Structures are given as C-alpha cells and as structure tokens.
Structure 1
Amino acid sequence: MSYPDDEDDAALFRSAIGEVTPMRPVEPPPVGKPKPKPRARMKELDESEALGEFARLLRSSTPLEAGDNASYRRDNLPPRMFQRLKRGQYSVQDELDLHGASAAQAENLLRQFLLEARAHEHGCVRIIHGKGLQSDGGAPVLKNLVDRMLRQRNDVLAFHSAPPTQGGTGAVLVLLANR
C-alpha cells in the first residue's frame, strides 16, 4: 500500500544528506619491482643451527670410523639388557635405511622414524646408516650423525652396532623406552 504524500525514496535520501562533495580520483600506486616472495627464514635458521650443532658435536669428540662399533647405554638400563641388545636378541620391530640420504635428510628421517616408533610402542628398532666407506676421506657422516642424535634423545635407552648377521657396523640396534 502506498501513501500519496510519500516522496520518491531517492529524492528523500538526497534531501536528508544535503549537498555532497565528490571524492578526488585515487591514483594507482606506481608500478615498480614486485615485492619479493616470502622466505621461511626461521626454518633456514633452524636448519643451519642444527647442522652447526652436528659439526660442533663431531669436533668435540672423536668421530667413529667405518669399522668402529657405535655403542651407548643409559645408567638406569641394567647391563644384562644391554648385553642382550649387543647380541641381537631383541626382536626388531621396525627399520630405517638411510643409505643415500644427505645429513639434513637423514636427521629429519631419523627424527620422524623415532616419533613413529614411539607412537607404535616399538621396543627395538634397527637403523641402517651404512659403514661410510664412500665418505670423502673423512669420518662416516651418517654413522656419526646417528650416534650423536641417539645419545641426545630421552626415549633412547641404549644402542649398539648390530651383529654381523643384521648389518654389523653399518647398522645400529636401538632399545627404546616405553611411554
């Protein structure tokens, strides 16, 4: 229903707001070089610090050679359990092969592998790092990386180079703590 005394809506609006000043035209921003793509600087910093930490650990202790046994036992682990690990008497529940990986790749793979092993409640795992015979005249990189990383983890109770039938000094058996 319309009322005869109602005015046109547009005219009513114009009379309510009064006179209007038009806006000045906005100039587009000057065309120049595009902004650089964002970089993951914190990730790059973390990776460089991690590699620096690994290099520092290698310098602070004598690195393992190709034929050396990698061995470590926490004080709270009974010696008898460690002897069983050294003999390969625990059932290996999962395995990680690091052959062909760079140090950075191996570090990431090892961290992820141990997280998954812990999530699946594995008690013993095997990590194959190789003997390092292909290393450029220096110490075996992956073998030393695995040795240093495993020593720093709270969920690792002990590790020892595998018996000859399970990879010898090119692999390590790791005994993991229960949750």
Structure 2
Amino acid sequence: MTDSQSPADDGAQSFEDLMQGVERHHHDRADTARVASPDPDSLALRRAAATEEPERVIDGLSSEAVDIVESGEELLFAAPGIQLRLMKRLRQGHLPWEQGLDLHGMTVEQARDELSTFIRDALRNRARVVLVVHGKAYSQAGRQPLLKSHVNDWLRRLDGVLAFCSAQPRDGGTGALYVLLKQRK
C-alpha cells in the first residue's frame, strides 16, 4: 500500500475487484413456479443420506428425544383459529383423507424424512386431509411408541399442518392420524 492510499481505499478496491462480472439482481420476489416432483432416484439418495447422517435436521425436525406418549393414547392438536366444528368432523372421520403414508418398520430418521417429504408433496398436490400411520409399538413388547411420539412432535412443527387427531378404528385408530392441511390459494 502506498502512502497516498488509506486502508479504507484498499478494502474498497479489493471488493470491487471481487465483484467484477457480477450482475445486479433487479427483482425482490421469489420464483413461485411449481417444481416438478422429484424422481425416484433422488428420493432414494435423500433416504440414504438421512440414514448416514442421523443428527441432521430436516425441515426443522430433529430426531432427538421428545415427550413419549402411550401406545393407546389419543392424539389431538389444533392450531389457533381452527373451528371446533371442523375439528369434530375431522375426529369423526367425516373429512375423507386423500393421501396416506405408512411409517411402519422405519427408523426414526427415515420416518422424519418420509413425513417431511410427504407433507410437502401433499401441500403441493392441494390435499386437504391426509392419513399418517405411525403404529403403536405393540409388536415390540416393552418398547415405547417412539414413532408415534416423534410424529406427534413433528406434525406440530411442520408448516402447513393446521390440525391432527387420532384416526377412527377403520383407519388405524390410535395407531394413525388424520392430518388437516392448509389450503394453497
């Protein structure tokens, strides 16, 4: 640096040198065009990555410990503003579910990835109610219902989920949930 240059001039010049060839961005809106569904190969890669990196967080969902619920316990959640009449119809199974996901046999990390992807896809497909089967952990004597507990926690955190409740016996009872989703405009 020469005596006539100040340290501020040197920093400004190096920044300008770094910015050579960069074009100014002239809009401030996101591109909200629909994205095509991922191909099965990319889904397989994401599943493999989820099992290799169990500590990563997906859509804000962690696989760390949550409050454990009982196998036969009924689950119920409603975001503020959800009408009581709508919740009653959901609990009675009077709102038909349009898509379903079965998490039986998956690890917590696999279930987290699948649930996150499933909810995003259901929202993109404009589904109103979906069914998520998490099971009750009865097949593993003495084991706590980890998937049920994690799904209970994850659905409360996912954007787009307005409410959920345990399903009617014909759809899995306390081993499944009806999930009410936001409607896209």
Give the TM-score band, short-chain normalised.
0.5 to 0.7
The Cα shift of 1:153 comes to 1.4
3-state SS of paired residue (1:83) = helix
1:81 aligns with 2:86: yes
Equivalent in the alignment of 2:64: 55
Structure index of larger Rg: 1
Deviations, residues 92-139 of structure 1 (Å, cap 9, x unaligned): 100001111110000010011011101100000000111111346342
What TM-score, normalized by structure 2, do the two folds share? 0.66
What is the CA–CA distance in structure 2 between the aligned matches of 1:129 and 1:98, rounded to whole Å? Answer: 5
Over the aligned positions, Cα root-mean-square deviation in angstroms equals 2.4
What TM-score, normalized by structure 1, do the two folds share? 0.68
What is the CA–CA distance in structure 2 between the aligned matches of 1:100 and 1:167, rounded to whole Å? Answer: 16
1:119 aligns with 2:111: no
Equivalent in the alignment of 1:98: 103
The structure whose residues are more often helix, as a share, is 1
What is the CA–CA distance in structure 2 between the aligned matches of 1:108 and 1:47, rounded to whole Å? Answer: 10
Aligned residues: 134
Percentage of pairs with the same residue:
32
The Cα shift of 1:54 comes to 3.7
Unaligned 5+ runs, structure 1:
1-41
Equivalent in the alignment of 1:173: 178
The Cα shift of 1:80 comes to 0.8
Q: Which runs of 4+ in 1 moved over 6 A?
A: 42-46
Return the letter of the residue paired with 1:149: W
